[in-house]
């Protein structure tokens, strides 16, 4: 069965963007100087990469939680929740050529209901992109 026939509506399935991970400090620092949007569950930083910057993936994302979030267990839990939210939302709502950094918030990232965290990420992306 072809993908067109499998979707049932005659339209080809949407191809989501591939998401890469920010690992170098310089990338996080560049994102910190760019656009930002505070939400109840986290802070989103977003920057459009320049054309001359090499990009192995269309969208890249990084995650960070300071010691203010809590001990290592609390920070890891907050980052796991942010990673999962980014995995679900960014392929559809992220824009190619952009870097995003999600920063965990004390007591909010780990305890906020997950559907609200997803909604926060979609709202933050739309505000950052001016939609």
Domains belonging to the chain, first-starting first, are 21-128 (3.30.230.10)
pLDDT, tens only, 90-101 = 999 999 899 999
Q: Three-class SS string for the chain?
A: CCHHHHHCCCCCCCCCCCEEECCCHHHHHHHHCCEEEECCCEEEEEEECCCCCCCCCCEEEEEECCHHHCCHHHHHHHHHHHHHHHHHHHHHHCCCCEEEEEEECCCCCCCCCHHHHHHHHHHHHHHHCCC
Does residue 5 have a pLDDT over 60?
no
pTM equals 0.84
């Amino acid at each position: 069965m072809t993908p067109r026939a499998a979707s049932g509506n005659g339209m080809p399935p949407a191809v989501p963007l591939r998401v890469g991970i920010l690992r170098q400090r310089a990338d996080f620092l560049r994102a910190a100087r760019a656009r930002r949007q505070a939400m109840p569950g986290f802070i989103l930083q977003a920057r459009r990469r320049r054309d001359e910057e090499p990009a192995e993936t269309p969208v890249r994302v990084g995650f960070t939680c300071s010691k203010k979030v809590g001990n290592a267990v609390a920070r890891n839990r907050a980052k796991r929740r942010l990673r999962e939210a980014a995995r679900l939302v960014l392929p559809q709502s992220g824009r190619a050529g952009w870097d995003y950094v999600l920063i965990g918030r004390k007591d909010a990232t780990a305890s906020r209901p997950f559907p609200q965290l997803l909604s926060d990420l979609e709202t933050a992306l739309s505000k950052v992109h001016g939609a």
